[in-house]
Amino acid sequence: MENRQLIKEVTAKAKRWLTEDYDEQTRAAVQAMLDKEDKTELIESFYKDLEFGTGGLRGIMGPGSNRVNQYTVGAATQGLANYLNKSFAHLPRISVVIGYDCRNNSRFFAEICADVFSANGIYVYLFDDLRPTPEVSFAIRHLKCQSGVILTASHNPKEYNGYKAYWDDGAQVVPPHDHNIINEVQAIKDISSVRFEGNKELIKLIGAEIDEKYIKQIKTISLSPEAIRKHEDLKIVYTPIHGTGVRIIPACLRAFGFKNIINVPEQDVVSGDFPTVVSPNPEEPAALSLALKRAAEVDADIVMASDPDSDRLGIAIKNDREEWMLVNGHQTALIFIYYLIKRRSELGMLESGKEFIVKTIVTTELIKEIADRHKVDMFDTYTGFKWIAAVIREFEGKRQYIGGGEESYGFLPQDFVRDKDAVSSCALMAEILAWAKEQGKSLYELLLDIYMEYGFSREKGISVVKKGKSGAEQIKSMMDNFRSKPVNELAGSPVILVKDYMGLKAYKPESGESFDLKMPETSNVLQYFSLDGTKVSIRPSGTEPKIKFYIEVRDVLKSHSEYPAKCKLAEEKFKKIMKSLGL
């Protein structure tokens, strides 16, 4: 009965896409779904409307209310335009920036957005070619706009597209704006309410002049220019994985003073089909395989990779046996924070009580150890860089932001951008390499020095994919089960603290003591902390059909030679923890 009712509802919804308000190609595709005996595609395409998650609007491209297409993009933009016109009615002119990445249809969707905004009387700065997400954030702030959009699905597979919506501070929208925009979008009951006929007089192309100002600003974050001058010939292999970093990241590295940037020709080809990879995600080892091959050929010092919209950075370094190893997102954030605090301290730039850093709750706790040791305040946020940006905004003009990051390969080493930034992060990571070399160390040795000084940690991420409507229901059931039957041990170590961000409550199982969690809103996240320092975080993804498990184990590292053995012990412990979690 329930399935028949669902089919009835999606059928009625789909038939509304057969009117003349939709183009012929869309109507034909929807009719084909309606005609199929198997209603799976119809259900998946229409059972819900796309909404803003932690990464904005994102989904598989195709016809339907649950797909990314010119109509869902147009409706979302109309809703955003309506909200902007209400929120900034007091201004003589409302303006937005629109950017787009290398994905199929990104330019087309960007032009749809420009038309809808301009049709609603909003002035549009449209980038003339693909640009990184962080540059769009920079442009919003630089041009003093009220909002902005970039058409991207970040590191998702080629079938996906979407867009990230930004507010006047250059950060992704947070409450109450995100919910209010959703309400405005949901208030559009008919596609005829979307104004698709643009006003070309209100659309201005931008490009090279913003690139120049962006790179000039990034150069100001350098803390060790003398080390760069001494090691300007470091061999840096960089790949954009077919994306937006193809020109601007090498240009930024050269502006910093590095002269030996080595490309990966096959992956310099800009393409939304991502022909050399299964997934254009620098978190995936396979995405860096061509870059690692190139690095071996030229005996490189480091490998860097950015995702399609150049907000995430992946790196590979050599270990003590001259073997290439991938550095995970926790380690990357750790290296960045260590360097920014350590170097500022060396330069006398730390003023106690004024500086702060930010990380997400699922990112390694070692970052807090470093901050505490140097009397730098650290703030924990939910996953999603919009929350890190919200903390920066809270303290703007009052305290100095040093840096912030998340385990999913995103870092922001400055505050003139308000989203994770692989462009400035690439430049800074190259500088850290030069700084380490000046001290006679490799990045590998620097990482192990951090572990020896602040404690060893090892992290593992597990994603359980559950696609479609049935998958969403399974994910909900799994989260409900963890709440109703809490985990009481992790690999034999008793759980001493549980944090449930859905109710903003934490409690200690042994004593029953509970306390409130101070966060801007509730979130469907559970965390377990055990007596031996293990941390497990569980959350459904806000942008993908997954439930994610983040595991961190702790230990002591007394010498560099112990590192491989400690990693092996951690891997064995991960298996026991997964068993404790029922995985």
Active site residues: 154
Q: What is the token pair recorded at 263?
A: 């490309």
Interatomic CA distance for residues 63 and 33, integer angstroms: 10
Q: Are 421 and 311 in contact (CB under 8 A)?
A: yes
Cβ count within 10 A of residue 142: 19
Closest CA to 167 of 221, 88, 67: 88
Interatomic CA distance for residues 73 and 122, integer angstroms: 17
Q: What is the token pair recorded at 374?
A: 């140097």
Q: Are 329 and 457 in contact (CB under 8 A)?
A: no
The residue type of 470 is S
What long-range pairs does 390-396 form, CB within 8 A, spacing at least 24? Answer: 390/171, 390/174, 390/520, 391/356, 391/358, 392/171, 392/358, 392/418, 393/169, 393/171, 393/418, 395/356, 396/169
Interatomic CA distance for residues 235 and 262, integer angstroms: 7
Question: Is the peptide bond preceding residue 176 cis, with omega within 30 degrees of 0?
Answer: yes
Interatomic CA distance for residues 175 and 116, integer angstroms: 24
Interatomic CA distance for residues 214 and 426, integer angstroms: 14
HEC assignment per residue over 152-183: CCCCCCCCEEEEEEECCCCEECCCCHHHHHHH
Q: Are 234 and 208 in contact (CB under 8 A)?
A: no
Q: Is 399 exposed, middle or buried (0-12, 13-18, 19+ CB in 10 A)?
A: middle
Q: What is the token pair recorded at 258?
A: 């590095």
The residue type of 149 is V
Q: Are 266 and 241 in contact (CB under 8 A)?
A: no
Q: Are 79 and 62 in contact (CB under 8 A)?
A: no
Closest CA to 245 of 45, 71, 65, 425: 425
Residue in the block written with tokens 């803003």: 52
Interatomic CA distance for residues 357 and 369, integer angstroms: 12
Q: Are 450 and 374 in contact (CB under 8 A)?
A: no
Residue in the block written with tokens 């038939």: 15
Task: Calculate the dihedral angle through the C-alpha atoms of 237, 240, 245, 249, rounding to the nearest 10 degrees.
Answer: -10
Interatomic CA distance for residues 205 and 124, integer angstroms: 8
Q: Are 108 and 59 in contact (CB under 8 A)?
A: no
Closest CA to 258 of 239, 238, 282: 238
